[in-house]
Amino acid sequence: METTNKTAKEIYFEVKNNPARKRFGFGEKAILVNIDPQKAYTEVGTYNTAYETDPRQMEYINTLAKKFRSLNWPVVWTHVAYMDSAEDAGVWGTRTNTPDSLQNIKFNSPRSEFDDRLEIDAVNDVIYLKKMPSAFFETQLQSLMVWHKVDTVILTGGSTSGCIRSTAVDSLSRGYRTIVPEECVADKHESYHYANLTDMSLKYADVVELKEVFDWLSQQK
């Protein structure tokens, strides 16, 4: 195993500035999957579970969603919420039981609500309730993607080390080109954030600057 004294952030930018692998690239048509941008994870200062990497993240996500809608491409939002019994959290909900615990994001609670800054089209966007890290796990996301004949998945939300990474792995495993705009994902700690951006960029996805995604979308009809 290689060892280093560099931080995860330093390693990420080293890999970013010296790419050693070919990109997967964009395909012909994309889906935007916004993972769990809900108050439990976005209201920094209100909830201990919330985090922020780029303060303009919600703004960027809104802009992406508008561009997708203008192309008549699918926009998906996921969130998590659980029963009072927490039985639908399964074994994932057994490690802790505090007000901050995952399984205590209850239905109809403020923690389960989407961030107020988001501009969600409740008629035309697709909203999925998920229980586990991947947006693919036991949701209809795969069927939606087949229906829309997409070949590219663009991921936003959080956390980078959790649900973003898990969804990216599942996306690649299903044969999709997977794009992660770095300004649009966030995590609790920069070490987790940058370590997983590095790992995804080396293995599972193209981690790119948001401008590159905007430029590609502007070329689509």
Question: Each residue of 178-211: pLDDT tens digit?
Answer: 999 999 999 999 999 999 999 999 999 999 999 9
Q: What is the pLDDT of residue 221?
A: 83
Backbone angles phi, psi at 157, to 5 degrees: 110, -140
- Residue by residue, DSSP assigns 5-17 as S--HHHHHHHHHH
Position 135 in a domain: yes
What is the residue-averaged pLDDT of the chain?
Answer: 97
Return the closest-CA partner of residue 155 out of 147, 137, 146, 167: 167
- What's the whole-number mean pLDDT along residues 6-15? 97
Domain-embedded: residue 121: yes
| Rounded Cα gap, residues 158 and 149, in angstroms | 25
User: DSSP state, 38?
Assistant: B
pLDDT at 72 > cutoff 90: yes
pLDDT of the residue at 29: 98
- What residue numbers bound the domain in which 64 lies? 8-218
Structural domain includes residue 3: no
Residue 34 lies in a domain: yes
Residue 56 lies in a domain: yes
Q: What integer pLDDT is reported at residue 219 of this predicted model?
A: 97
Q: What is the rounded average pLDDT of the residues 47-68? A: 98
Flag whether 205 is in a domain: yes
Q: Check which CATH number belongs to the domain holding 200 and give it.
A: 3.40.50.850
End-to-end CA distance of the chain: 47
Is this model's pTM higher than 0.85 or not? yes
Greatest alpha-carbon span in the chain: 51
Residue 20 has pLDDT above 90, yes or no: no
The residues annotated as belonging to the active site are 163
Is residue 150 one of the residues assigned to a domain? yes
Q: Which of 167, 160, 171 is nearest to 194 (CA)?
A: 160
How does residue 142 score in pLDDT terms, banded at 50, 70 and 90?
Answer: very high
Residue 2 lies in a domain: no
CA 47 to each of CA 39, 59, 111: distance values in angstroms, whole numbers, following the listed order: 8, 20, 8
Number of domains in the chain: 1
Q: How many CB atoms lie within 10 A of CB 173?
A: 12
